[in-house]
Amino acid sequence: MGETSVWELEGRNQEREDFKIVGTEGHPGRQSWDMASGAAKFPTDLHREGTLVAMALRCPFGRARVKVKDVSKAEALEGVRLVVTHEDEEISEMPRMVPSWFEFGRSPLLSDEAEFEGDECGVVVVAISEEVCKDALSLVEVEWEVLPFILDARDAAKPGAPILRPEMNPDSNLTGNTFGAPITWELGNVEEGFKEADHIEVIEYGRQMWSQFRPMPPAYFAYWDDDPWGNPDGNKIGYVTNHAHFPSNGPIVSAYLGAGTDMDKYRALSPYMAARYCDFVEKRGAQFAPVLSKRLGGVPIRYIQSRRESFDAAVPQSFFTVRIGFKKDGTLCAVQSKNIHQVGARGGYGDKTHGHLVLPANAQGFKSTSCPNIHSEMGYYVTNGACTTADPGKDHWEPVNLAFAKIADTLDMPISDVIMKNVKVTAPSLEACMAAGKQAFGWDEKWHLPGKRTLADGRLHGIACRSCWSMTWGMISYNINLRMREGKVYMPYQESLIGTYWPDAAQMVIAEETGMKLEDVVVYYAGHYPNWNQGDAADRGSTCTWAAKEAAIDLKRKICEVGCTYLGAEADEVDIIDSMLVLKADPSVQMPIGATGQIATGFCGKPLVPFQNDVIRTMNVDFCEVAVDTETGLVEILDYCSAHDFGKIIRPSSGLGQLENALTMASGRALREELVWDEGTGVLLNGNMYDYKVPTALDQPEILTVPVETRCGGGAYGSTGVAHAHCDGGLVGLAIQNAIGEFIPMLPYTPDKVLEALGKISQGR
Amino acid sequence: MASNVSRRDFLKGGGLAGITIAGVASLGVGSVLGTEEACAATATMTEFVYTCPVCGQHTSDYDALVKHFDGTHPGAAVPQAVALTINGTTFMAQVEPQWTLRETLLYAVGLTGNAKQMCDRGACGSCSVLIDGVPALSCSVLAVECEGRQIETSEGIAADPAYRPLFESYVKHDASQCGYCTPGHLTVAKYILTKYGDPSADQIRAELAGNICRCGTYSRHVAAIQEAAASLKGGN
């Protein structure tokens, strides 16, 4: 059985129980009306008369070097305004600054080498239209030198593989990781652990590249203009669209890092950026658009990146081979893990994938088991194919749960029992999630040994569950500024929205703590407010609300300190109730808080939660039920059930929505999502939405969400993150194994792999 | 050519500093949206501006542009215009002959709700409009094909008090997450309500099968549409 988590409560009012607003339903989002009606302006919607279009030369090969021989014909074409090459003095120096955490893999903004098919290289053209840009690019005389490429991290790791980045590592394709995690580590003594084992098994887990698939293809739009709030130094202000939320307004960060200018010279153009999976991949257009605009006197520039070209950002490959030793009762006693993880190609901009932000995969998840002996060896390998996002840890649990399934299969136990025997540092969260989830899902009625149940229609039936930790981002400080004026509290934000409703959650927490009516707390987009990190991204909303809580407590204290004199009392003798300052002893004595004048405060900080998962407070358990057609290999997800420990659920509708989001995404990744390249040319074969099919309304499985609240998280009132934990598809594979009795070692679980596992076809793998 | 695009010349207050953004009050944007806190500022429509692609001169109506060409650029091809009826208003829109309805909505009309481009080939439904009451992909229809047809966009539906319950149920159920695809969904939602009156979950999912939402909000649309159907059936 697991261990109990122990930690210190952080911040004020974390133990609040008398919630009036937090956790309640029926509060439409600040942007909901505009998003539904179409009034919301996304970066793709922005247009100014006279807007010019920028397009880059894109590599048609898997990897190549381009020699730009002559651009004069392109320059002479009517409608062309500018042609720059990688030798351009300004462009060749970009980016001028990169964040300190990128110590390897730095790449220029535009070079003569393209690292994947579709990568920008050599030339960028600015013209009056997309058509003229295309014509101009076709007139540029170039010579391509096709270079060897690698699409699979396992191939990149092989001795004798072509060295893709000799300037970074002349000996191999191995690279480091951003946070300096060790390549090899060991807890206990693995060989001794295996000697104690009653059973030793080997598991294989592999995942091909998933497209990050942003619904809005990057639409970089920028111009330079006067600052309506004043230009003391006479410089124009760069207006830039948002496409990223971390670390705050990515393209803006990128622009000033890339150009080496100051952050206060940039303004965000839109609070909307559409969805994305995780972050870290932003493209070169983020820097090109403002730079090219400045070169042309500030004229609006739209840098084109088509949907096809937007398949260049992906969740990386990861391949695990894990030897596990366990005892007759199902407890792990030894784990030996080898992980080959993909870094992928460069092609992003200065502060993100420019140098790759690589987070440590490996056997981290096994650290959260009670297994005393773990050996982990990992390697990050650069490849071609596409840029990759970071992988902030949740995947570490995929091989862990696969190991649990292997133990369950070997010992004829339910995997739920194996989870409870082995996962530590989890009480009370894991127990609560497992109990609530099993009941909601009907686990005890549905579970059977592998291959033992056939549905009435002849398909095989399978179920599985898996555990995972819930992420709370404690890496970043959150900057919350509050101002009370005329009886309302205002919170400006600039960080673009990704769909988590974090400003609305912050609004609820601020109202709760200040005693204001919800409608008297106004969160509003302020494009001129160049603050950092307020709280978007899948799992950061909870820690952002923690900072909002701290700020709100400060603001209330200040209001009471000022207002108490009007009521002839001390500060601790007054309270704020429903936006009115009231005398505690006699609530009929009250006054509008607006009469206290304008009062402001700010809080910048973060809860003391760890970034990585050495300490786990909140868990979740997902359950899945599938039907497998043994004739066709088709898998149908019949039921998903997710028991998630929210710690404290702040805004229920969007909290549960994050579960639906992540599990829908996981269903696509489990059954069909995979980027496929031609092995001979390195050309992406399914870079469109017909061949790369994300789940539709008809594909979405039934999803039963079971909120659990243990108050154990690191966010406001013990809240915690949601989405990352549920995005992977490995659970479906475990349910398929329960149906057919065979493990499938590689996602996605397509019909061919199912039929191969059933022995009906052989693909020679 | 992008620099010669004619477009509505009006300002939408609030939200987006320093940029002229299209919004069309008489065509629908913002006029019935939400509470004061929750809605976009109501757009103020002035007039269309037609732009001479040769010299850049603006005119206030299409006939004046034609007259300008006859007098100033004799022999040059006169820019084309098409009579479009969008959300009940008919007007002459200066378009390039190859422009899709999506491009026209984005560049010439300024209604961007259904001008969203997620795919580039009719695979995502984000640009769904209603043409004569039936869902159509505005990325796959030429503007010049739309003359004489009734085009409805999400902004027009938002401006229709009869469909206020649909919007209320959409915001109540958080049918948007990132919001990029939502106007396309909502436009098809009106069609579903019109077609079925009291649609089942299966009917809604089938009709929305062509609208992709990466955020996985599908079940929210089902709940919102069914709730709206109940409200509409009960006379709001």
How much is the ipTM here?
0.94
Give the distance, in angstroms, between the CA of residue A356 and the centroid of all CA atoms in the same chain: 15
CA distance A720 to A647: 6
Q: Are residues A539 and A508 in the same domain?
A: yes
Domain final position from A312, A337, A370: A312
Instruction: Read off the pLDDT band of A6 (50, 70, 90).
Output: low
Does B16 touch chain A if contact means CB atoms closer than 8 Å? yes
Model pLDDT, residue A541: 74
Does pTM top 0.90 for this prediction?
yes
Residue A251 has pLDDT above 60, yes or no: no
CA distance B156 to B24: 9
Instruction: Read off the pLDDT band of A636 (50, 70, 90).
Output: very high
Instruction: Read off the pLDDT band of B77 (50, 70, 90).
Output: confident
Evaluate whether residue A760 is within a structural domain. Answer: yes
Evaluate whether residue B74 is within a structural domain. Answer: no
Evaluate whether residue B236 is within a structural domain. Answer: yes
Q: Among residues A743, A636, A730, which one has the least CA distance to residue A409?
A: A743
For the ranges A216-225, A466-475, B34-43, the lowest mean pLDDT is seen at: B34-43
**In sequence order, what are the beta bridge partners of A374?**
A187, A335
Domain final position from A605, A629, A659: A605
For range B119-140, the mean pLDDT:
96
For range A532-536, the mean pLDDT:
57
Evaluate whether residue A744 is within a structural domain. Answer: yes
Task: State the CATH number of the domain containing residue B224.
Answer: 1.10.150.120
Interface contacts (A, B; CB < 8 Å): 255
CA distance A249 to A453: 51
Question: Residue A285: in which H helix or E strand, if any?
Answer: helix A285-295
Does B230 touch chain A if contact means CB atoms closer than 8 Å? no
- In three state form, how does the secondary structure of A22-84 look? CCCCCCCCCCHHHHHHCCCCCHHHCCCCCCEEEEEEECCCCCEEEEEEECHHHHHCCCEEEEE
Evaluate whether residue B158 is within a structural domain. Answer: yes
Nearest-by-CA chain A residue for B129: A38
Nearest-by-CA chain B residue for A526: B15
Domain final position from A279, A294, A312: A312
Tokens at B229, concatenated:
């159907």
Evaluate whether residue B24 is within a structural domain. Answer: no
In chain B, how many domains are there? 1
Model pLDDT, residue A28: 92
Question: Residue A338: in which H helix or E strand, if any?
Answer: strand A332-345
CA distance A147 to A62: 8
Per-residue pLDDT tens over the stretch A229-249? 666 566 788 888 876 655 445
Model pLDDT, residue B30: 35
Evaluate whether residue A338 is within a structural domain. Answer: no
Per-residue pLDDT tens over the stretch A188-205? 999 999 999 999 999 999
Task: State the CATH number of the domain containing residue A593.
Answer: 3.30.365.10
Q: Are residues A673 and A708 in the same domain?
A: yes
Does B161 touch chain A if contact means CB atoms closer than 8 Å? no
Handedness of CA A145, A146, A147, A153 (dihedral sign): positive
A653 to A35, A308, A413, A500, A660: CA distances (angstroms): 16, 34, 36, 10, 11
Interface test with B, best of A35, A496, A702 (most B CBs within 10 A): A35
Does B52 touch chain A if contact means CB atoms closer than 8 Å? no
Q: Are residues A225 and A87 in the same domain?
A: yes
Task: State the CATH number of the domain containing residue A73.
Answer: 3.90.1170.50
Separation in Å, CA of A213 to nearest CA in chain B? 8
Per-residue pLDDT tens over the stretch B144-184? 999 999 999 999 999 999 999 999 999 999 999 999 999 99
Nearest-by-CA chain B residue for A132: B1
For range A13-42, the mean pLDDT:
94
Amino acid identity, position B111: L
Instruction: Read off the pLDDT band of A250 (50, 70, 90).
Output: low
CA distance A640 to A664: 9
Does B218 touch chain A if contact means CB atoms closer than 8 Å? yes
Q: How big is chain B by its Cα radius of gyration, in Å?
A: 19
Q: Are residues A20 and A68 in the same domain?
A: no
Say how many Å lie between the first and final Cα of chain A, rounded: 39
Percent of chain A with pLDDT over 90: 62
Nearest to A694 among B40, B120, B214 (CB): B214
Interface test with B, best of A33, A131, A692 (most B CBs within 10 A): A33
In chain A, how many domains are there? 3
**CA angle, A730 then A736 then A740, to 5°:** 150
CA distance A450 to A261: 61
Evaluate whether residue A218 is within a structural domain. Answer: yes
Domain of residue B180, residue span? 116-236
**Helix/strand/coil for A652:** helix
Residue B107 has pLDDT above 90, yes or no: no
Evaluate whether residue A693 is within a structural domain. Answer: yes
Q: Are residues A580 and A715 in the same domain?
A: no
Evaluate whether residue B110 is within a structural domain. Answer: no
| Mode of pairing for the β-strands spanning A586-592 and A599-605 | unpaired
**Helix/strand/coil for A253:** helix
Nearest to A36 among B21, B112, B171 (CB): B171
CA distance B165 to B167: 5
Per-residue pLDDT tens over the stretch A674-703? 999 999 999 999 999 999 999 999 999 999
- Report the C-alpha dihedral over residues A67, A57, A154, A188, rounded to 10 degrees: 110
Task: Encode burial over B197-223: b for 16+ CB neighbours within 10 A, e otherwise.
Answer: eebeeebbbebbebbbbbbbbbbbbbb
Per-residue pLDDT tens over the stretch A115-158? 999 999 999 999 999 999 999 999 999 999 999 999 999 999 99
For range A264-290, the mean pLDDT:
78
Question: Residue A590: in which H helix or E strand, if any?
Answer: strand A586-592
Per-residue pLDDT tens over the stretch A139-150? 999 999 999 999
Amino acid identity, position A184: T
Evaluate whether residue A100 is within a structural domain. Answer: yes
Is B19 in Cβ contact with A48 (below 8 Å)? yes
Q: Are residues A454 and A486 in the same domain?
A: no
Q: Are residues A563 and A628 in the same domain?
A: no
**Helix/strand/coil for A2:** coil
Evaluate whether residue B68 is within a structural domain. Answer: no
Model pLDDT, residue A528: 67
B76 and B52 in contact (C-beta within 8 Å)? no
Residue A295 has pLDDT above 60, yes or no: yes
Does B24 touch chain A if contact means CB atoms closer than 8 Å? no
Say how many Å lie between the first and final Cα of chain B, rounded: 46
For range A406-426, the mean pLDDT:
94
Of A73 and A533, the one with more pLDDT:
A73
Q: Are residues A538 and A639 in the same domain?
A: no
Neighbours of A59 (CB within 10 A): 25
- With 0-12 / 13-18 / 19 or more C-beta atoms within 10 angstroms meaning exposed / middle / buried, residue A751 is middle
Nearest to B16 among A31, A527, A688 (CB): A527
Nearest-by-CA chain B residue for A219: B117
Separation in Å, CA of A44 to nearest CA in chain B? 7
Evaluate whether residue A405 is within a structural domain. Answer: no
Looking up tokens 């808080």 gives A593
Neighbours of A378 (CB within 10 A): 22
Q: Are residues A225 and A287 in the same domain?
A: yes
Percent of chain A with pLDDT over 70: 86
Model pLDDT, residue A371: 94
A64 to A88, A121, A146, A348, A722: CA distances (angstroms): 20, 9, 4, 17, 41
Evaluate whether residue B71 is within a structural domain. Answer: no
**In sequence order, what are the beta bridge partners of A340?**
A319, A379
Q: What secondary structure letter does DSSP report for A677?
A: B
- In three state form, how does the secondary structure of chain B look? CHHHCCEECCCCCCCCCCCCCCCCCCCCCCCCCCCCCCCCCCCCCCCEEEECCCCCCEECCHHHHHHHHHHHCCCCCCCCEEEEEECCEEEEEECCCCCEHHHHHHHHHCCCCCCCCCCCCCCCCCCEEEECCEEEEHHHCEHHHHCCCEEECHHHHHCCHHHHHHHHHHHHCCCCCCCCCHHHHHHHHHHHHHHHCCCCHHHHHHHCCCCCCCCCCHHHHHHHHHHHHHHHHCCC
Model pLDDT, residue B168: 94
Q: Are residues A591 and A617 in the same domain?
A: no
Is B2 in Cβ contact with A696 (below 8 Å)? no
Of A274 and A154, the one with more pLDDT:
A154
Q: Are residues A587 and A713 in the same domain?
A: no
Per-residue pLDDT tens over the stretch A307-327? 999 898 888 898 999 999 999
Q: Are residues A275 and A228 in the same domain?
A: yes
Give the distance, in angstroms, between the CA of residue A243 and the centroid of all CA atoms in the same chain: 13
Of B107 and A444, the one with more pLDDT:
A444
Domain of residue A87, residue span? 44-147+212-312
**CA angle, A99 then A100 then A103, to 5°:** 105
